[in-house]
Structure 1
């Protein structure tokens, strides 16, 4: 189109611009982007894990209170850097019985430059955000909820209903929430409240032990945040659990569930939750998907002496 030529086709909205950008990114990257999408089976359901990118978390923040020599030895033995953790971010999508259910919404454009890739990777997975019927949150940290809105503060999942734990919502939406967190996390509160406002008319509130949607049960896994929920997805006798951040690291959380993690709001409670959850998962031989596990993030839990290990699918 030459300079000065007017576009005579249909009007193009801001959401069309974002979709076009995502499609162009995928077409330019081609098959090399296949790592951004993983697929698992559960009965007649289709389970897709879609990358939202990754984070960079200094080790002093992530495990600053862990015994350094033991931590460094564990990381080095497993080929990992000792200066920082660089976890993947994996959004789980369940397609079943006419529903497209997204667990967590990614970071969006305003958290970290290495994250916020969900929309373009959904395009690679051939999932249109407008087809998403439900968004189910594990918790309200930025890398899980800020992605509900785009660069223009419009809803990414424009036709979806949204579901979050009542206790989680109550904490982050409280007028006292800013005073309840450290100064470096006050932006988390502001960001969560802004996203809650954007989806206010579409929110339903969940309680542990209840069915969220047919075949999806909420499980209390507090500590990382006050009202953190994980979700068991059933199909007959088969099932898997969407962990969220109940287990944040596929090596350390399993080998040393008692080590305090800097990202946890209540570190003592989070450690209890990890140990209880790992014992249950190992006993059930259940499949799990961890939000920050190496993509595509699915696997099982096994006992390893007095601790545990994650076994990728």
Structure 2
């Protein structure tokens, strides 16, 4: 059963009508004894050219009109995924924390809305180590916010971000990504387990290598009696260009050509199987399906 929740956070919002209010949108899915929640970590604020790149003005105008976008600024949501099976509470990625963008890093509020505390998280599973997925790992004292959790990440991903050479070889505007990732991963070095393609994290939870956005990016299949939900991270990074032109290389991917090949193969599989997906930067809490749309695809919220 799928339900959508709009949660008003903060007692001040109830007693002081003129105070700023947050309306937190969440999506819950109950599937055969499994509960999946999407949690808002806020949103990013990006210039339009971050996504549109070298598209012509005519292409941009058509895309903006088709998807109701702004040509000047994009504000993609950041959707974390929480899985509960009655024994384990698994958080996929940890959000941006306070040091990346002021519009993101809202995970603590989202957990509060569900009545969960950080020490109830049993597993933290990373899709990849970009700032909006990893930088919420540590508190102001550089201690892990989730003190009792097991940490899991793709082996190739961990090797890349902890390699001292990465800061010298990564794109200039992403050197802070490398420094920030290395520092945070070092803090949990003795508590982290690496994953390979096809590894089982927990019964019914399988890691799938989906590289290109980062070298070791992973997606995760959550399978239960009622079907499969795929946590896709940033393997499909938006609901517009990625679906309209999945084979178009994206500047947000560290390896644009590999990212495009991964995206096309993933879209084809998802459309064929009809699995539900949770996309980190997709609208409506990120939960929906991939459907074919002629030679392209479309994202259908559910």
TM normalised by structure 2 equals 0.92
Residues 1:233 and 2:233 aligned together: no
Moved over 6 A (4+): none
| 2:116 corresponds to 1:132 | no
> In structure 2, what is the equivalent of residue 49 of structure 1?
38
Q: Secondary structure at the match of 1:242?
A: strand
The 3 A distance-change label for structure 1 pair 72 and 155 is: same
- Does 2:110 align with 1:102? no
8 Å contact kept, 2:204–2:224? yes
Q: Which residue matches 1:117?
A: 106
Given that 1:62 and 1:263 are in contact with CA atoms closer than 8 Å, whether structure 2 keeps it comes out as yes
Contact 2:95 2:135 (8 Å CA) reproduced: yes
2:283 to 265, 271, 294: 294
Aligned to 2:12: 28
Distance 1:136 1:74, change over 3 A: same
Q: What secondary structure does 2:284 align onto? A: coil
- 3-state secondary structure, aligned to 2:179: helix
CA distance in 2, matches of 1:228, 1:251: 21
- Work out whether 1:308 is the aligned partner of 2:297: yes
SS of aligned partner of 1:94: strand
User: Is the partner of 1:296 in helix, strand or coil?
Assistant: helix
> By how many angstroms is 1:160 displaced?
0.5
- 1:97 Cα offset (Å): 3.2
SS in 2 for 1:148: coil
Query: Aligned runs of 1:247-258 on 2, under 5 Å?
Result: 247-258=236-247
Question: Is 1:155 aligned to residue 144 of structure 2?
Answer: yes
Cα deviation 1:273-294 (Å, max 9, x = unaligned)? 1111100000001100000011
Q: Report the Cα offset of residue 310 of structure 1.
A: 0.5
Q: How far, CA to CA, are the matches of 2:119 and 2:25 in structure 1?
A: 20
Displacement after TM superposition at 1:35 (Å): 3.0
Q: Cα RMSD between the aligned structures? A: 1.7
Q: 1:236 to 1:283 in 2, by over 3 A?
A: same
* 2:160 alignment partner in structure 1: 171
> Once the 2 structures are TM-superposed, how far is the Cα of residue 25 of structure 1 from its aligned partner?
6.0
Query: Judging changes above 3 Å, is the alpha-carbon distance between structure 1 residues 30 and 150 closer, same or farther for their aligned structure 2 residues?
Result: farther
Going from structure 1 to structure 2, the CA distance change for 1:30 and 1:284 (only over 3 Å counts) comes to farther
Give the unaligned 5+ runs of structure 1.
1-23
Secondary structure at the aligned position of 2:288 is classed as: strand
In 1, Cα distance between equivalents of 2:142 and 2:284? 28
Q: Answer whether contact 1:46 1:96 (CA < 8 A) is retained.
A: yes
Matches within 5 A, 1:58-73: 58-73=47-62
SS of alignment partner, residue 164 of structure 1: strand
Match of 1:21 in 2: none
Deviation, 1:61, is 2.1
**Rounded Cα–Cα distance in structure 1 between residues aligned with 2:115 and 2:89:** 12
Q: How many residues align?
A: 290
- Structure number with higher strand proportion: 2
* Alpha carbons 1:109, 1:151 under 8 Å: kept: no
Task: Tell me whether 1:216 sits opposite 2:205 in the alignment.
Answer: yes
Considering only CA atoms, is the larger Rg found in Structure 1 or Structure 2? Answer: 1
* CA distance in structure 2 between the partners assigned to 1:223 and 1:169 by the alignment: 15
SS in 2 for 1:226: coil
- C-alpha distance in 2, partners of 1:305/1:271? 18
